[in-house]
Structure 1
């Protein structure tokens, strides 16, 4: 599918090409061969294994220069899939250990690499700072401070990733309040491994603007109606859900049912090389499975552009680029 695309749910480290991670490991004499399969790609058995492999792969990224190189490689690959606007998750836990001074250095390197990629490939990138749920609420507050102190043109949002089966959502409310006061858009992973209750929790306790995944809301008609009425946007990553076994087959995925019920949905890749996907492949599989055509994908991209956490001028330019007339 050659349409210009908007992607809102994307982890920077999770998009690292395996070849890049292997090369960085060789440079440092690190033996991480156990995280790769026979085909050279990332290998894991389940979601817990995925998180472990993710953290091992990230461990070879040692400084701002590594993150600049990572950002350049990821954005080149993403732009090649027709993505013209990307919001990517970046965690201070991995970028300077939540030390504000170190975080600023990492962020400068990432943002500069993003500017270079915009000039070279035409892709506009913004960052969403994420805390890691299974690291606990205290570390989340530190991550939120990093986000609040660097909110601006590049950092536009704050979110929570990690293992949604761990911890109590309400315990992270302070971190989200801090980010909200800094004017950042808010999102949180929910409704992937836990059911509709987890979606309600991030709506009620964190008051998020968007939900990462959120697909298991489909199990509760009242919750689906609430999402449709409030306009909270779901950042859905179908290929990720299939690869991790949330749903056994594409035909079982609820994205089409949610959309038909009036829920605002978007499409993203999550951690593309981990799930052997690209934005083009996501679109192609959705077209094959649900019969969606260019008008459907154009509508999805408009939802994504309108839900983006960027400033008004950037959104207007994006909508124009997507060839939507001003209302």
Structure 2
């Protein structure tokens, strides 16, 4: 079996960040928006560094203006994921961008996303669930409004709550109220930490917000006592190696600590983060893992099993996905 066909599970995917550039360019033409500056001549996204990436990302998102746009986006993203062997994905969604944290508007956006996801499952066999994220640099009060949207729409499809945004702004404890609200609604908890800030960022998120998973988390490697604590508590890391290398968190795949974290007993999974922006895919991630760390097919299947056990979906869905991960002759 080729690595492209190997069944995969992804836990860290920003819905807008998964938008194929051709899809965004098409929306821009439909709406009469001139965002040609964000594309290279070959049609891919064009940016110089992380901060310019944020500007390009914002310009791309300016084309997403209605629930219908988000429905179409969902289908486009899932088509790319399914083509790379992904059988289950959890995508980050934000009421900040889908209705401005207005609960009524958020319900409309969420309905369009869910409808598109359910259609993709029927036609492509890929299962999607949603995780609401508050935006760290928007502040704690906005996070409370976002958490309310999440709590009011929690269920079999909307299964988690997390926090993205500028990791250098604010302290995790400032957002404890929002996370408590989400936890009381039965949502799984994940937090972006340990990407642009160091091990202390992971430790603070762990202590203040008690997440089951941490987005990125790789810079925990700078404190081996913390690494051991993650392993002991069974906290799962949503690792995005291609993203980390592309953005310069680590200079190369050889320098990336995913293998060290795994060897020390931490539960690691692999995701793409914002795949077209970072010129990656789940197939490309698996290829590089195999090449760099000499991981074999069973090592990669184990990554998917770990991710499935860490997913925030219901048990019936988990069992169904686990069955799809096993070789056909088992």
State whether TM-score is above 0.5: yes
Q: Following TM superposition, where does structure 1 have runs of at least 4 consecutive aligned residues deviating by more than 6 angstroms?
A: none
| Deviation readout 1:186-240 (Å, 9 max, x if unpaired) | 0011000000000011101111110000000011110111011111000000000
Task: Give the deviation of 1:6 after TM superposition.
Answer: 0.4
Q: Could you tell me which of 311, 317, 321 is aligned with 2:320?
A: 317
Aligned to 2:88: 85
Does structure 1 residue 61 correspond to structure 2 residue 67? Answer: no
Query: What is the 5 A alignment of 1:22-61?
Result: 22-61=25-64
Mapped partners of 2:49, 2:174: distance in 1:
27
Aligned to 1:117: 120
Does structure 1 residue 272 correspond to structure 2 residue 280? Answer: no
Aligned length, in residue pairs? 324
Q: Unaligned 5+ residue runs, structure 1?
A: none
Task: Give the deviation of 1:39 after TM superposition.
Answer: 2.6
Does structure 1 residue 187 correspond to structure 2 residue 186? Answer: no
Q: Could you tell me which of 180, 198, 214 is aligned with 1:177?
A: 180
Q: TM-score, normalised by structure 2?
A: 0.97
Q: Unaligned 5+ residue runs, structure 2?
A: none
Mapped partners of 2:110, 2:58: distance in 1:
19
Does structure 1 residue 290 correspond to structure 2 residue 307? Answer: no
Aligned to 1:305: 308
Mapped partners of 1:47, 1:141: distance in 2:
28
Aligned to 2:101: 98
Task: Give the deviation of 1:55 after TM superposition.
Answer: 1.6
Query: What is the 5 A alignment of 1:242-261?
Result: 242-261=245-264
Q: TM-score, normalised by structure 1?
A: 0.97
Mapped partners of 1:170, 1:34: distance in 2:
39
SS of match in other structure, 1:246: coil
Aligned to 1:7: 10
Mapped partners of 1:98, 1:53: distance in 2:
23
Larger mean CA deviation between 164-173 and 154-163 belongs to 164-173
RMSD: 1.0
Mapped partners of 1:39, 1:220: distance in 2:
42
| Deviation readout 1:124-164 (Å, 9 max, x if unpaired) | 00000011111111111111111000000110000001110
| Deviation readout 1:54-93 (Å, 9 max, x if unpaired) | 1221111010100011001110110010000000000101
Mapped partners of 1:150, 1:269: distance in 2:
26
